[in-house]
């Protein structure tokens, strides 16, 4: 550029330095600018341009930009701001993570994207926890909890406990609710004594019987070829031995207890007392559920009684209305009550009873005083009160009904 050309440029610059007499203002925002900038920095990283630090992971080198690393996670921010030796090193050795996982995390730092699969999610979760990349850590934990399986839930539970993650209880509950499957997988056999006791002692454990729990503990003991003798004696104390009804299991447990050489007389007595007590076992395994009677399905009255089990969070069908009353929907009659282990509901002018022990319907009373539909039912002091028509009640002890004093009117 000649001196004459420079003079002309300077004159134009001085001209535009004069402020314009404009009273308005605006902000220019290009939402793509930050994305494009990060993309260019990522290209520069992959081409090793303008990088100022190298991360060495298992012998694999990753050229990076410090400014991106320290603004992506608190781990590197603490490292570069602390004045530690790593602040001045060109190459930094990173431990506690493999090179493949490190590559995935670096891609996330420079692009905001990371690809999670069932094969890599556990490694990425642990690395994200190490580097305190909280968003990735929490999304990995959610991915794992949404895809729990019997084969892996115990390992996931232990991992989440070790990392102090909030989802550990959800993984444990999955194991408790699916004990029938979980007790047959490798992770169950590898449990420590302490964790096994925690599982079988939990009140939320869902098992068909104490025999099922006892068999699982026996398999756990035998897996180590007798090296768990002392642990076995301690673990078996947390099984309700008096409720085991399998003769084979009782004899086998007694044998293993005697071979342990410990003072186990009380345990043997509890096992022997279990003989002839299947009714005890059934009683032990009962739990409360929420029953839903009636309602409508596709606009039609339903004659199905469904229940929700809060222990394993599942819905099931308890029964359908007795064929004698088929065609008269339970939902039409307006109410039901539970007395002992039976459900009473009104069907036309009859009182129907469903026994949950025998899983059968019977006609408890017929020719009720008021056959009106939509009567509500309330149980008070062994009497069923019918509300909505003629105020009357049915005495469950005397097995008869009677009118009740009319409701006071103003």
pLDDT in tens, 137-156: 999 999 999 999 999 999 99
pLDDT band at 273; cut points 50, 70, 90: low
Name the architecture of domain 37-147. 2-Layer Sandwich (3.30)
Beta bridge partners of 61: 56
Residues in the chain, how many?
Answer: 410
Q: Which tokens in the block code for residue 169?
A: 């209880």
The conformation of residue 185, written as its DSSP 8-state character, comes to S
pTM over 0.85? The answer is no
Higher per-residue pLDDT: 142 or 274: 142
Which residues face 337 on adjacent strands?
Answer: 344
As a whole number of angstroms, the distance between CA 98 and CA 94 comes to 9
CATH 1.20.1050.10 applies to domain 290-403? no
Highest-confidence segment of 42-51, 63-72, 115-124, 401-410? 115-124
User: What average pLDDT does the segment 31-40 reach?
Assistant: 79
List the Cα angle 88/94/96 in 5-degree steps.
150
Reply yes or no on whether the pLDDT at 325 is more than 50.
no
Q: What tokens were used for 193?
A: 């004594």
Residue 283 has pLDDT above 60, yes or no: no
Range list for CATH 3.30.710.10 in the chain? 37-147
**Please, where in the chain does CATH 2.120.10.80 lie?**
290-403
Is the predicted pLDDT of residue 129 greater than 60, yes or no? yes
Between 60 and 409, residue with greater pLDDT:
60
d(CA 78, CA 59): 24
Most confident of 23-32, 35-44, 175-184: 175-184
Tokens of 369: 């005083």
Give the pLDDT of residue 220. 93
At residue 223, does pLDDT exceed 80? Answer: yes
Residues 354 and 220: their CA atoms lie apart, in Å, by 41
Over residues 236-265, mean pLDDT: 76
pLDDT in tens, 297-311: 777 767 677 777 776
319 vs 228: which has the higher pLDDT: 228
């Amino acid at each position: 550029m000649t001196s004459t050309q420079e003079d002309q440029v300077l004159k134009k610059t001085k001209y535009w330095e004069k402020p314009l007499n404009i009273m308005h203002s605006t902000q220019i925002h290009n939402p793509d600018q930050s994305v494009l900038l990060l993309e260019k920095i990522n290209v520069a990283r992959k081409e090793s341009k303008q990088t100022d630090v190298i991360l060495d992971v298992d012998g694999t080198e990753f050229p990076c930009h410090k400014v991106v690393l320290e603004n992506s996670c608190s781990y590197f921010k603490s490292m570069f701001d602390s004045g530690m030796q790593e602040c001045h090193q060109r190459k930094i050795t990173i431990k506690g993570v493999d090179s493949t996982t490190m590559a995935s995390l670096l891609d996330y730092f420079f692009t905001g994207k990371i690809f999670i699969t069932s094969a890599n999610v556990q490694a990425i979760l642990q690395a994200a926890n190490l580097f305190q990349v909280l968003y990735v850590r929490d999304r990995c934990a959610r991915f794992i909890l949404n895809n729990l399986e019997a084969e892996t839930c115990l390992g996931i539970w232990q991992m989440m406990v070790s990392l102090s993650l909030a989802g550990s209880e959800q993984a444990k509950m999955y194991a408790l609710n699916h004990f029938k499957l979980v007790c047959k997988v490798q992770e169950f056999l590898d449990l420590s004594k302490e964790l096994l006791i925690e599982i079988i002692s939990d009140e939320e454990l869902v098992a068909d019987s104490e025999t099922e729990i006892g068999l699982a503990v026996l398999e756990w003991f035998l897996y180590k070829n007798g090296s768990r003798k002392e642990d076995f004696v301690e673990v078996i104390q947390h099984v309700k031995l008096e409720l085991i009804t399998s003769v084979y299991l009782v004899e086998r447990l007694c044998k293993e207890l005697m071979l342990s050489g410990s003072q186990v007389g009380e345990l043997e007595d509890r096992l022997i007392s279990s003989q002839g007590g299947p009714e005890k076992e059934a009683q032990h395994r009962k739990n409360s559920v929420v029953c839903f009677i009636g309602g409508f399905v596709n606009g039609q009255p339903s004659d199905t009684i469904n229940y929700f089990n809060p222990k394993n969070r599942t819905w099931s069908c308890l029964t359908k209305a007795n064929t004698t009353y088929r065609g008269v929907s339970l939902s039409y009659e307006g109410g039901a009550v539970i007395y002992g282990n039976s459900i009473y509901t009104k069907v036309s002018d009859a009182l129907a009873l469903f026994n949950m022990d025998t899983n059968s319907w019977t006609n408890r009373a017929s020719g009720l005083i008021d056959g009106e539909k939509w009567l509500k039912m309330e149980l008070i002091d062994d009497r069923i009160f019918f509300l909505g028509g003629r105020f009357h009640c049915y005495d469950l002890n005397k097995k008869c009904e009677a009118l009740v004093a009319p409701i006071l009117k103003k």
